[in-house]
Amino acid sequence: GAGVSQSPRYKVAKRGQDVALRCDPISGHVSLFWYQQALGQGPEFLTYFQNEAQLDKSGLPSDRFFAERPEGSVSTLKIQRTQQEDSAVYLCASRPGGSYNEQFFGPGTRLTVL
């Protein structure tokens, strides 16, 4: 079946612009995660949804970062007034829920802020 998909795959923004990154999880997956991966490092947690409820947003680096999942399926990560330090790959992951905890990742969106 289809995996996790993300769009756009690449985004170039000028400093100060707002961007929106989309994630389509695997159909039926209850849990959705956003991670940020800087060059040469492992992914780092940003935020977590269970259905439409955002249960953990402890990893969001500033109040310029906002995520939503209004119908418990597609999610959008929005970054306002982008800064150069926001340049990274943004990864989305989903998992089925229940007792099975394996997470499956999308291909990521590479954001470059000039």
The DSSP bridge pattern shows strands 10-13 and 109-113 to be parallel
Query: Is position 110 an interface residue for another protein (rule: CB under 8 A)?
Result: yes
In this chain, which stretch among 16-24, 43-51, 63-71, 74-82 interacts with another protein, using CB under 8 A? 43-51
**Count of residues that interact with another protein, criterion CB under 8 A:** 23
**23 contacts 35 by C-beta, under 8 angstroms:** no
Q: Which of residues 77-106 bind another protein (CB under 8 A)?
A: 89, 91, 93, 101-105
Neighbours of 24 (CB within 10 A): 18
Nearest alpha carbon to residue 87 among 24, 47, 33, 40: 40
Binding site for another protein (CB under 8 A): 31, 33, 35, 41-45, 48, 55-56, 59, 89, 91, 93, 101-105, 107-108, 110
